[in-house]
Amino acid sequence: MSATNKPSLPRISIRGLSKSFNGNIVLEDVDLDIMPGDSTTVIGMSGTGKSVLIKCVLGLLRPDAGEILVDGENWLALPEQEHLQRMRRIGMLFQGAALFDSLKVWENVAFALLRQNVPKKQAHERAHEVLEWVGLHDVGDLMPSELSGGMAKRVGLARTICHKPDIVFFDEPTTGLDPIMSDVINRLIVRLHKGSGTTMLSITHDLRSAEMISDHIALLCHGRIHRIIRANELTSDQDPMLRQFVEGRASGPINCSPWGKKIEEVIDR
């Protein structure tokens, strides 16, 4: 896929994306381009709408306005069945891994292949290959409820990449894991990125992880992408909002009011 003028076309292009829930504006006119083979991480406070952003891109939520262009094609305008076909190119790791608890680990990993009528034996082999890749042996016949958090996350990662997607999404890949397991996950993501040139869009508030796994970092704040930098500029960039976020200060240009309003709602109740 390296035609001469291809690199000028973003793999994913988010245009004017807006989304509100019951009048509560979460995303307002978000624009973001991700070039082929690029890994971009969106950082931002909890509740700023990072998950909503990724869900709009995947078609899990209908945005109020905006376009999601993948290789120039607006996926939101596709009929449902065709949109589903396109999802074969996509891998998504959910925050809680979202493994299907009624299926065995290997059936989870090979889910997309089994649905696409790949012979069972072949799917089974591929599942074990990917499980090995994330460093798990002999877990194929366990049920997801028998796994620890870190193992579940790695099985989730295996399921995400089993069908060889060329665009992968990560929702808080390291949140809720211990520092060592976080490092394991980060390294696996880096290995995936370096090894296969997969295009990635991640969201996290874990700065260490963002620095490790991405080429570009975008700060989402007050419903918009406020600033995009190269990952190695995270500590040196002088933008006041970015500085506040990186240094973790409650006071500063980032308005905590959505968070404050929530607290009031809780107290009023």
Partner 1 sequence: MKWIASIGAGVESIFSHTGSYTLMLLQLLRKLGSRPWYARQLIAQAEQVGVQSLPVVLLTALFTGMVLALQSYIVFHRFAAESLTGLVVSMSLVRELGPVLVGLMVAGRVGASFAAELGTMRVTEQIDALWTLSTDPFRYLVTPRVLAVTLMLPLLTIIADYIGIYGGYAISVYVLDQNPVVYVENTTVYMELEDFYSGLIKAAFFGMLIGVIGCTEGFNCKGGAAGVGTATTHAVVISCMSILVSDYFLTAWLFG
Range in contact with Mg ion (rule: CB under 5 A) among 18-26, 48-56, 251-259, 261-269:
48-56
16: left (phi over 0), alpha (psi -120 to 50) or beta: left
How many whole angstroms separate alpha carbon 70 and alpha carbon 112? 21
Among 11, 50, 154, 216, interactor with ligand ADP by CB under 6 A: 50
Range in contact with Mg ion (rule: CB under 5 A) among 51-59, 76-84, 183-191, 237-245:
51-59
- Give 106-175 as a DSSP string: HHHHTHHHHHTT--HHHHHHHHHHHHHHTT--S-TTS-GGGS-HHHHHHHHHHHHHTT--SEEEEESTTT
Q: Terminus-to-terminus CA distance in the chain, angstroms?
A: 56
Q: Is 168 in the site for ligand ADP (CB under 6 A)?
A: no
- Measured from the CB of residue 49, what is the shortest distance to ligand ADP in angstroms? 4
Q: Is 52 in the site for ligand ADP (CB under 6 A)?
A: yes
When CB distances to Mg ion are compared, the closest residue is: 51
Enter the tokens of residue 188: 């696996």
Site string for ligand ADP, 59-98 (x = CB under 6 A): ----------------------------------------
The item of ligand ADP, Mg ion, partner 1, none sharing an interface with residue 94, based on CB under 5 to 8 Å by kind, is: partner 1
Q: Is 240 in the site for ligand ADP (CB under 6 A)?
A: no
Length of the chain, in residues: 269
Residue 35 — φ and ψ, nearest 5°? -80, 160
Enter the tokens of residue 259: 């968070």
Q: Is 48 in the site for ligand ADP (CB under 6 A)?
A: yes
Residue number, 106 or 170, with CB nearest to Mg ion: 170
How many whole angstroms separate alpha carbon 140 and alpha carbon 102? 14
Q: By CB under 6 A, how many residues form the interface with ligand ADP? A: 10
Type of residue numbered 172:
E
Interaction site with Mg ion (CB under 5 A): 51
- The footprint of ligand ADP (CB under 6 A) covers 21, 26, 44, 46-52
